[in-house]
Structure 1
Amino acid sequence: MPGFLCKFPAFSDASVRAARKVIDDGFKSLVRSYINAIDALVQPLQWFLNDLERLFVNSPWPFVLIVMLGVVYFGSRNIKITIGTAVSMFAIGLMGLWNDTMVTLAMVTVCTLIAVLIGIPIGILMARSDRVQAFVNPILDVMQTMPSFVYLIPVVMIFGIGKVPGLIAVVIYAIPPMIRLTNLGIRLVDKEVLEAADAFGSSGWQKLRNVQMPLALPTIMAGINQTIMMSLAMVVVASMVGVGGLGKNVLQAINNQFFTVGFLNGFALVAIAIIFDRTSQAYGRRLQKHSEVIHG
C-alpha cells in the first residue's frame, strides 16, 4: 500500500506550535489589557458568594436545618421527602461534613441563580425567533459536549485561581439545560391558547407573561432541576481551581487514595443531589397539575 495512504497528511509540528503560540500569546495579551475591567466585573459575584457562604456556615445549624426543611416541604408538600432530608442532613452533620456541605450549597445556590437569570431570557429569545435558535443551538451543543475539564483552561487564564473562576466554569457547564428547556417549554404552549390570547387583544409581552410563561413553568422547573444536578456534578471538577467544600475533599481523597474520605464526601454530594432532585420534581409535578386544572 502506498505510504501516503497509511499516514494522514497533517500540518508540520513546527507550524502547529507556531499557530498555538500566536493564539495563546494573543489571548494572554488580551486578558492582560482588560484585567482591571474583568476584576471589577466579577467582584460583585465574589462578594455575593462570600456573604452567602458565611451566612450558611456561621448560622446555627438548627436554624439552617429548619429553614431547609421548610423549603423542602413547601416545594414538595411531601412528608417523606422532608423526613428523608432531615435524616440525610443529620447524617452529614454527624460525619463532620456540615461546614463543607454548607460551602457547597452556597456555591450551587449562586450558580443556579446565575444560570436562571441568564438562561431564561436567552431561552425566551430562542422561543420567539427561529434565527436566534439556529444561532444559539450549536453553541449549546458545544457547551454540552465539551469535556468539563476544558472549561477550566480559559477561565483560569482570565480570572486566575479562586472561587469565582470555579463558579463561572460551573455556570457555563450547567446553563445549557436551563436555556433549552425554557425554549422548549414556551414553544410547546398550545397554539389555540395563543390564538385565544390574540383574540382578547393581548400584546406580545402580555402573552409571554400571562400565558406562555405560566404554561411553560413545569418544563422550566425541569430545566432548573437539571441545572442543579449538573452544578453538583461540576463542583468536584471546579475544586481543582480553588472551590472549597465537598468537591475539594473528594479531590484530596483521590490524590491521597483515601477511600473512606472520598466515599463519605461523595455520599454527602449524592444526598444533596437527591434532596434537590426530589423537591424540584415534586414542585414541577404540582405546577403541572395546577396548570392542567386551570387550562384543562
Structure 2
Amino acid sequence: MDELLPRIPFADWIDQLVDWLVATFGTVFDGIADFLEGVVEGSVDLLNMVPSILLAVLFAALAWLISTRKVAIFTLIGLLFVDYLGYWYEMLQMLALVLTSVFFAVVVGIPIGIWGSQSSKVRKVINPILDLMQTMPAFVYLIPAIFFFNIGVVPGVVASVIFAMPPTIRLTMLGIQQVPSELIEATEAFGSTTWQRLGKVQIPLAKPTIMAGVNQSIMLSLSMVVIASMVGAPGLGEEVYRSVTQLKTGVGFETGLSIVIVAIILDRITQHAGKRKVGGKTI
C-alpha cells in the first residue's frame, strides 16, 4: 500500500507550522500567558482573602438569590464540607480556573453564536468546525496548548476555553433561531433595525437557551480543568491526579467528592440563571 500511495508527512508539516508560530508569535503567546496567569492567580488571591465561612455564606446567598432555598442550603453545607476536608484552597484554584475559562468562552462564544444566527453562510462555516471541536478527544486540546504556553495553569485555561466554547455557540444560535417568526415580522413591520431586534426581542427571548449553553460550557470546563492537571494545572484535579499516581484511594475519593459538590453547585445555580423568580420559585 505504501508503494502505491506514498505517505504524506502530515506530522512533519504540523511540527513545522508549530515551530513557525512559536518563533514568529512567541512574544504574543508570552503576553497571553502572563495575562491569563495573572487573572487566575489574582482571582485565587482575592477569593482567599475572604474567610472560608464568610465566602461559603456569600456563595449560598448568591445561590438563594439566583436559584432556590434548597440550592442555597446545599451550597453552604457543601462548601463547608470541602473546607472541613481540608481542600478549600485547592477548590478556590479550581474555581478560578473554571470561571476564567468560562468567562472567555462566553465572551467569544456568544458573539459568534449571534453572528451565526443572522447568517446562513456563517453557519455553514461554523457548524463543521464545532462538530470537529466536539468530537475531538479532550486530551488532544492539551497538545497545542503545551507547545504554545508550556506547562502550568495557562495551557489548562486555554484548552478549557476551546473545549467549553461549542455549547455556548450552538445554543446561542439555536435560541435566537427559535424565536417565533411572527415576532420577527412584527419588529420588521415597526421598522426595527437588526440590532434593535436582537437586543429587545431575540436575545431576551433566547436567554434561557443561551444560559443552558453557558451551563454546559461550565460543566465541560470543569472536566477539562481536571484533565489539565496532567500538565500542571493546579486545584482539586491536581490532587486527584496525585492520588491516582500514588494509589491513595482515600484522598482520591475525598477530592473527587469535592469536585462533585462544586459541579452540582455550579450546575444548579446556572440552570436557574436564565429564569425569573416569582414567589421564591424560578419560572
Given residue 74 of structure 1, which amino acid in structure 2 is its aligned partner? L
1:83 counterpart (73, 98, 121): 73
What residue number does 2:40 align with? 49
How many equivalent pairs are there? 279
Q: In the alignment, what sits opposite 2:25? A: 34
**Partner AA of 1:252 in structure 2:** R
How far off its partner does 1:30 sit?
2.6
Distance 1:210 1:28, change over 3 A: same
Letter in 2 for 1:39: D
Give matches, 1:231-270, under 5 Å: 231-270=221-260
Q: Given the alignment of the two structures, is residue 120 of structure 1 paired with residue 110 of structure 2, yes or no?
A: yes
Superposition deviation, residue 21 in structure 1? 2.9
1:217–1:287 contact (8 Å) kept in structure 2: no
Aligned equivalent of 1:155: 145
| 1:117–1:43 CA distance, 2 compared to 1 (3 A) | same
Shift of 1:44: 2.3
Deviation sequence 1:113-135 (CA, Å, 0-9, x none) = 11110000000011000111110
Residue number among 223, 227, 231 corresponding to 2:217 in the alignment = 227
What's 1:135 paired with?
125
Compared with structure 1, are the counterparts of its residues 132 and 74 closer, same or farther at alpha carbon in structure 2 (3 Å cutoff)? same
Consecutive aligned runs of 4 or more in structure 1 exceeding 4 Å deviation? 10-16
Counterpart AA for 2:219? M
Alignment of 1:79-118 (within 5 A): 79-118=69-108
Task: State the shift of 1:283 in Å.
Answer: 3.0
Q: Distance in 2 between matches of 1:283 and 1:151?
A: 29
Aligned mates of 2:201, 2:2 — CA distance in 1: 55
Per-residue deviation at 1:278? 1.4
Query: Which secondary structure state, in structure 2, belongs to the residue aligned with residue 34 of structure 1?
Result: helix
Tell me by how many angstroms 1:170 deviates: 0.7
**Residues 171-186 of structure 1: matches in 2 within 5 Å?**
171-186=161-176
Query: What's the offset of the Cα at 1:15?
Result: 4.5
Displacement of 1:256 in angstroms is 1.1
SS for the counterpart of 1:202 is: coil
Deviations 1:181-200 (A, max 9, x none): 00000000011111111122
* 138, 142, 145: which one aligns with 2:135: 145
- Equivalent position to 2:159, from 169, 180, 191: 169
Q: CA RMSD in A?
A: 2.0
Say whether the 8 Å CA contact 1:52–1:106 is kept in structure 2. Answer: yes
Please report how far the alpha carbon of residue 19 of structure 1 lies from its aligned counterpart in structure 2 after TM superposition: 4.7
SS, match of residue 192 in structure 2? coil
One-letter identity of the residue aligned with 1:103: Q
How far apart are the structure 2 equivalents of 1:19 and 1:105?
Answer: 38
How far apart, in 2, do the equivalents of 1:20 and 1:190 lie? 48
The answer to whether the 8 A contact 2:117-2:174 is kept is yes
Q: Does 1:23 align with 2:14?
A: yes
* Alignment-mate amino acid for residue 67 of structure 1: L
Whole-Å separation in 2 of the counterparts to 1:95 and 1:12: 62
Q: Secondary structure at the match of 1:73?
A: helix
Instruction: Flag the 1:158–1:196 CA change in 2: closer, same or farther, 3 A.
Output: same
State whether residues 56 and 103 of structure 1, in contact with CA within 8 Å, keep that contact through their aligned partners in structure 2. no
TM-score by length of structure 1 reads 0.89
Aligned counterpart, 2:186? 196
SS of the equivalent of 2:211 reads: helix
In the TM superposition, what is the alpha-carbon distance from 1:59 to its structure 2 partner?
2.1
